[in-house]
Amino acid sequence: MLKLDALNLRSVSLLVVAFLTACGGGGGSSPSTPTLTAPSTGAVWGGTRSIVWTANTTDGGTAQVLLSDDGGATFGTVLASATPDNGVLPLDTSVFGDGTEYRVRVVLSNGTVLASGDFAVDNTAPVTVLTSPMGSEILGLSSIITWTTTDVHPGTVELRLSSDDGGNYDYVVAAATT
């Protein structure tokens, strides 16, 4: 719920913008100890992100990168069979279904195995519904704006106002994490 105070506008239109704030990344260690740093356990990934590990070799070593969607019971998706061991591989998560039990395994050419804990893939846009005002109401100096957001991994809702019948939404009223 948000309380709207005076903005000195004669009329306003309201736009609710919802977007997912993805999180990820993580720790790190000295370059001599290979470590998988992204995705981190509990991260929520959407779109294209980078799998990141500390590179093990500088002499042309390779890495095999595998993906599990069942909490590590199987690693049936080969993301790269012999990518250069340079410590990074882009992952387009949009080609995979939403889920919470994804894991990455990186097998370096010297036999070292790096593995992530469970992370989530979420490419489904949140559904946000403005519940008050419903439209055509006149907002006073102190008005209450309410909304609902449905998403497995909610992010941030940004409320914007328009003073030109929806042509532009220049006034950011609030941004709230749901």
Of residues 170 and 140, the one with the higher pLDDT is 170
Structural domain ending residue among the three candidates 84, 104, 121: 121
pLDDT, tens digit, 9 for 90 and up, residues 24-74: 344 443 345 788 999 999 999 999 999 999 876 666 789 999 999 999 999
| CATH for 61 | 2.60.40
Q: Are residues 50 and 103 in the same domain?
A: yes
pLDDT, tens digit, 9 for 90 and up, residues 92-146: 999 999 999 999 999 998 888 999 999 999 988 778 788 888 777 777 777 787 8
Q: Are residues 43 and 90 in the same domain?
A: yes
Pairwise CA distance, residues 32 & 18, whole Å: 42
| pLDDT level of residue 91 (50, 70, 90 thresholds) | very high
Asked if residue 25 belongs to a domain, the reply is: no
Q: Count of domains in the chain? A: 2
Q: Residue 55, exposed/middle/buried by CB under 10 A (0-12, 13-18, 19+)?
A: middle
Of residues 163 and 75, the one with the higher pLDDT is 75
Asked if residue 30 belongs to a domain, the reply is: no
pTM of the model: 0.63
Structural domain containing residue 62: 36-121
State the residue for tokens 């519940």.
131
Q: Are residues 105 and 142 in the same domain?
A: no
Structural domain ending residue among the three candidates 106, 121, 136: 121
* Residue 26, pLDDT score: 40
